[in-house]
Structure 1
Amino acid sequence: MSDANHLLIPFAASTADGCRHALQGLTLPHLDRLLGRLARSPALDAGEDTDFAPPHERALARHLGLQDGAAGHTPWAAWYQHQRRAPDASAPVQLASADAAAAFISPCQWHVTADRVTLVDPAALALDEAASRQLLDILAPWFAEDGITLTYDQPTRWLAQGAVFDGLATASLDRVVQRDVRPWMPDAARARVLHRLHSEMQMLLYTHPFNDERAARGLPPVNAFWVHGAGRLDSRPAPVPPPEMPLALRDAALREDWSAWAAAWAAIDAGPVARLADHVAAGGIARLTLCGERSAMAWHTAPRGFWKKISSLFSPQRFADVRDQL
């Protein structure tokens, strides 16, 4: 269940040339209507597009009461494990220790050329649960030799537990898809084990029957993995419903499909944004967070007297007024 009164929108804008072109013809009437009724929070979560944690993950971490720094230290896997833990042994995700450092491991393909090592979107692998579990069984013994326990969670995401993940800064998968992985690798001195495992897994999978069978079916090889969301959950945040967070803009932006991105914005504007604008117009309380690739901005409902005062001093904001700051 999500917090329907907090709408958090990832990839609301991008610095990519294709996005700038798509923005020129984009009209979002419901978003402009909503921004005209909300007060902007004074604090701007300003960052860079080289930060390990993108703005939407930082904003989500703050909402959930987690560490939200840009350096990639939010323990997403440990938090997820805590959220999924059940009181009995039949819990779907049950790692060895509730308090150990954990991380997500995403099997993926690295496309290697003379000057780039590009991480292809794991969704393009067409891994189903059976294939993912088969691959996990192949790789788990290698990781276990270095004290890392792997557990299945989703076809393109496993849970890992081990001391190497304690305090390790890792880059979000959203930062790396379709990009050169080398600037986003964890620190070699802190993660020597992981760097070696990367090399060993590439050699192991290069001629493995698992990939031979995939090639025979016209599927891309799995030849690498990505570590993200690493860390230890030092305290247990109070449970709160996550915000409503549509991912269509994210998915289109990671594919660099800016026509689909513009269409996704129109759909979000006509759907969750319009609903939130109607809720505010009826006197309801709401929050809105817009995230780009560098920064995030937030708005909230203000007391009626306060809003009447500031609306007489300032013209209402529109998306066109703020999108270049994201």
Structure 2
Amino acid sequence: MQIQLLIPGLLWPTATLLGPASGLALDGLATLLGRGTRELREFEPYDRQFARLFGLEDAHLPLAALRRLGEADAAATEPGSHWLCADPVNLSFAREHLLLHPFADDALGIDEAATLITALNELFTDLGHFEACTPTRWYLRLKQPTEVTLYALDDVIGRPIKHFLPEGKDARLWQRTMNEAQIVLHNHAASQAREAAGKRPVNSLWLWGAGTLTQNPRAPAQAVQATDPLSLGMARAAGVPTRAPERAHALRQSTLVVLDSLLKPAQQLDLESWRDALAALERDWFAPLSEAIKGGHLQALQLTAPSDRGTLHVRLGSAERWKFWRKPYAFDALLKSIAPAAHTAPGAAPPTDSPRSHSPNQR
């Protein structure tokens, strides 16, 4: 029996004068890092790594359809339907660049979302139908499939959008659609009211996730624990049971656990929230799992932490519990050993000083 932990946002994305985890008691995490075999690999988008766990290697993953399958009302969706994620965002200028910023889960009201969705449906009747499963997770159900490369929202946050514009056969259609949506949303009374109240207006959509599922995902474990709809949708497509993360239940069978509480704080450079979430993970997961490994109650643990700074992989097997000469490795020391994130577009050649795959010398 083994547990796979997938923890996006664990690696703080920027260099800081003081270690971002400085002062936190992270003995459990330090033990896992010290006892385990560590490897840092080059940057790869999180969604591709996650899909590979389920045996999917397609470059055009149908992330929108999979995320829609993970929503609470997924039973209402029809098999074979085509979707785009159409998430509300705020665009703002920073110097000469137009940067994208998403909205926190509680930043928009359901009434605001509903009235903006109505306006979009009045304009884009030829494309399909917009809907909001939550105030910040919107979708466009397409009338017909599309051939276009669109970048995932997480890859674009806080970056110049000019590097992430639609590509492919239907690129002009979706570029035009995004431009027209910006006009509608910017001029809408709901957005104007937000701006007058000192809030960030919804002035654009970010369209992403196009694709068709050409093969069924394969379950990477007997169960999947997660709360985000993309993880839940992928697991449902693979026919594997799902539930919210719960350590005691995860220890009963082979389980993939997606812990994403660090992701948004890391994306938004919200250090206080990130530290709070990291302390909670230490209490609820790292320390107890470290003890489970020591006591022989857990045979194997894999920890994967994808980020812009590279992807950290840590592997512990039953043999590691006897290697007492391996000392704990402080998490802040690990962060300082990794080069800061290079803000390049996905697929672009990495700069010469980007982190390369390496395995620390552990004997």
Q: TM-score, normalised by structure 2?
A: 0.70
CA contact (8 A) 2:42 2:311 kept: yes
Amino acid at match of 2:52: R
Pick which of 10-19 and 170-179 moved more: 10-19
The residue number in structure 1 matching 2:288 is: 275
CA contact (8 A) 1:38 1:300 kept: yes
1:198 aligns to 2:199 (yes or no): no
CA contact (8 A) 1:166 1:232 kept: no
The residue number in structure 2 matching 1:88 is: none
CA contact (8 A) 1:23 1:262 kept: yes
**Other structure's SS at 1:17 match:** coil
CA contact (8 A) 1:109 1:221 kept: yes
Distance of aligned partners of 1:307 and 1:276 in 2 relative to their CA distance in 1, 3 Å threshold: closer
Residue 196 of structure 1 deviates from its aligned partner by 0.5
Residue 165 of structure 1 deviates from its aligned partner by 6.2
**Other structure's SS at 1:248 match:** coil
CA distance in 2, matches of 1:79, 1:247: 17
How do 1:39-50 and structure 2 match up within 5 A? 39-40=37-38, 45-47=41-43
CA contact (8 A) 2:4 2:257 kept: yes
CA distance in 2, matches of 1:125, 1:241: 26
Spell out, residue by residue over 1:56-92, the C-alpha distance to the aligned partner (whole angstroms, 9 max, x if none). Answer: x3333233443376xxx3322212334559xxxxx55
How do 1:251-266 and structure 2 match up within 5 A? 251-266=264-279
Select the structure that is richer in helix. 1
1:142 aligns to 2:132 (yes or no): no
How do 1:1-326 and structure 2 match up within 5 A? 5-18=3-16, 21-22=19-20, 28-40=26-38, 45-47=41-43, 53=45, 55=46, 57-67=47-57, 73-83=60-70, 91=73, 94-95=76-77, 97-112=78-93, 115-123=96-104, 126-145=107-126, 147-162=127-142, 166=146, 168-187=148-167, 190-238=170-218, 240-242=223-225, 243-283=256-296, 284-285=298-299, 286-304=301-319, 311=323, 315=326, 318=329, 319=331, 320-321=333-334, 324=338
Q: Give the RMSD, CA atoms, in angstroms.
A: 3.4
**Other structure's SS at 1:230 match:** coil
The count of aligned residue pairs is 302
CA distance in 1, matches of 2:58, 2:266: 23
Identity of aligned residues (%): 25
Residue 195 of structure 1 deviates from its aligned partner by 0.7
Distance of aligned partners of 1:259 and 1:219 in 2 relative to their CA distance in 1, 3 Å threshold: closer
Spell out, residue by residue over 1:13-43, the C-alpha distance to the aligned partner (whole angstroms, 9 max, x if none). Answer: 2452338742566663211212344345x7x
CA distance in 2, matches of 1:249, 1:301: 22
Q: TM-score, normalised by structure 1?
A: 0.77
CA distance in 2, matches of 1:78, 1:67: 16
Spell out, residue by residue over 1:156-214, the C-alpha distance to the aligned partner (whole angstroms, 9 max, x if none). Answer: 11222337864533322222223222212222654211110122122223332232343
Spell out, residue by residue over 1:232-282, the C-alpha distance to the aligned partner (whole angstroms, 9 max, x if none). Answer: 111222455143333332222222133443343233223211122122222
CA distance in 1, matches of 2:326, 2:30: 12
CA distance in 1, matches of 2:34, 2:122: 57
CA contact (8 A) 1:100 1:161 kept: yes
Residue 291 of structure 1 deviates from its aligned partner by 2.4
Amino acid at match of 2:286: V
CA distance in 1, matches of 2:167, 2:316: 42
CA distance in 2, matches of 1:144, 1:20: 53
**Other structure's SS at 2:122 match:** helix
CA distance in 1, matches of 2:159, 2:144: 25
CA distance in 2, matches of 1:13, 1:155: 28
CA distance in 2, matches of 1:19, 1:272: 28
Distance of aligned partners of 1:36 and 1:174 in 2 relative to their CA distance in 1, 3 Å threshold: same
CA contact (8 A) 1:37 1:280 kept: no
CA distance in 1, matches of 2:82, 2:164: 20
Pick which of 22-31 and 216-225 moved more: 22-31
